Amino acid sequence: MNKIPQIKIAIASGKGGTGKTFVSTNLFYTLYKKGNKVTLIDCDAEEPNAKLFFEYNFVKDINVFQKNPVIDVSKCTFCGKCHEYCNYNSIFILPNMNVIKVIEDLCHGCGACKVACKFDAITEKDFSLGKVNHYKINDNAHIVEACLNVGISSPVPVIKRALKEGSKTDNIILLDSPPGTSCPFIQTSLGADYILLVTEPTPFGLSDLKQAIATLKILHKPFGVVINRSGIGNSDVKDYLEKENIQILLDIPFDRDIASIYSKGNILAKERLKWFDKFSYLFDLINNSYGNSSN
C-alpha cells in the first residue's frame, strides 16, 4: 500500500445532531482497517462520545489549566481598572461597597487585569478547564478526546491542547469538530487541511450549512459536503449545492437499517461491506480534492 501523506480532515456541521460523529467514526474505522495510521481527535469537548463506538485502551490523560486572577482585597483600592480591561465581564466590582470578585467560569485567563492593576493586588492561580484523554484502538489507530469541565464558557483551550496531543504523529488526522460555526468550529477548522461538512436536507440544515460555508470561504479552506438522512425534508439543500457548484461527496439515505446499526453503537462500515467501500471512496475523493487544491 502506498503511504498516504498526512492530511487533517475536520468533520463539521453548522448544527448538532446531523450525523457528524457517525461520519467521523465510520471514516476512522475504514481508514485504520485499510492499514492506515490514523488519529481521531474528538473536539466536541462538551460531549465527546466518539470512543464509545470502539474497544479501546487508555493511554494517558492531560489536565488543562489556565491562569485565573486572584485579587488581594487588602491591596485593592477598588479603582476599577481591572474591570475596565476585562473583555469578558469576568470581574464584578462594587467600589462603593468595597466588593470585588472574579467570576471564574467567565474568565479566559488572558492576564489583562493583572497588567492593568498598578497596586500589585492581582496574582494568578491554576484553574482547571478540563482534560485531554488519549486512547488506543491498536498500533495504527488512536483517539484523542477534548473533555471540558462542566460550567466552563470556552472549550477553545482544551481543544487546542487536544489538537497538539493528536497531531504529534504523521498519521492521517480526523477532527470531529464541535457543532455550530462559533469559535470552537473556527479553531478546529483552522487546524485542518480540508473540511467535510455534514448536513441534512431540512430548512434548518440548509440555513446552518450556508453559514458554515460562508465561514469556510472567509478562512479559505477547501471543503466538501456529505448529506445525511437523505430523503427526509425537501430538495433545497441539493438545489443550493448544485447552484453553488459544490460537490456532494456522499449521500447517506434515511434508512431504518442504518439508524438501527448506529443506535446500537455499531459502526456501519463494519456491519455493511457496501458502506466500507463508500467511506473508502469518500476518503479518496477528499484526498484527490485536497491534493488538487494544494498544488
Among 110, 246, 248, 285, binds ligand SF4 (CB under 6 A): 110
Instruction: In angstroms, give the least distance from the CB of 151 to ligand SF4.
Output: 15
Rule CB under 6 A: is residue 111 a binding residue for ligand SF4?
yes
- Of 131, 155, 170, nearest to 44 (Cα)? 155
Q: How far is the CB of 15 from ligand SF4 (least distance, A)?
A: 28
Q: What Rg value do the Cα atoms of the chain yield, rounded?
A: 22
241 contacts ligand SF4 (rule: CB under 6 A): no
Segment interacting with ligand SF4 (CB under 6 A) among 8-16, 82-90, 134-142, 179-187: 82-90
Kindly report the number of other CB atoms within 10 A of residue 104's CB atom: 16
Specify the DSSP element, H or E, that contains 204.
Answer: helix 203-219
Partners of residue 230 on adjacent β-strands: 232, 253
Grid-cell match 491542547, residue found: 161
- Which residues within the stretch 89-108 sit at the binding site for ligand SF4 (CB under 6 A)? 90-91, 100, 102, 107-108
Confirm or reject binding of residue 69 to ligand SF4 (CB under 6 A): yes
Residues 241, 225: Cα–Cα separation, whole Å: 9
For ligand SF4, which residue of 28, 29, 54, 78 counts as binding (CB under 6 A)? 78
CB of 101 to ligand SF4, least distance (A): 10
Q: Indicate the helix (H) or strand (E) that contains 102.
A: strand 99-102
d(C-alpha 161, C-alpha 132), whole Å: 7
Beta strand 57-71 with 194-199 is unpaired
Q: Strand pairing of 248-253 and 223-230?
A: parallel
**127: contact with ligand SF4 by CB under 6 A:** no
Q: How many CB atoms lie within 10 A of CB 55?
A: 8
| Least distance (Å) between residue 107 CB and ligand SF4 | 3
HSE-up of 212 (CA within 13 Å, CB side)? 31
Which of these ranges, 43-51, 118-126, 220-228, 280-288, lies near ligand SF4 under the rule CB under 6 A? 118-126
The nearest distance, CB 117 to ligand SF4, in angstroms, is 3
When the beta carbons of 121 and 206 are compared against ligand SF4, the nearer one is: 121
User: With CB under 6 A as the contact rule, which of the stretches 18-26, 78-86, 166-174, 216-224 interacts with ligand SF4?
Assistant: 78-86
Residues that bind ligand SF4 (CB under 6 A): 69, 71, 76-82, 85-86, 88, 90-91, 100, 102, 107-113, 116-117, 119, 121-122
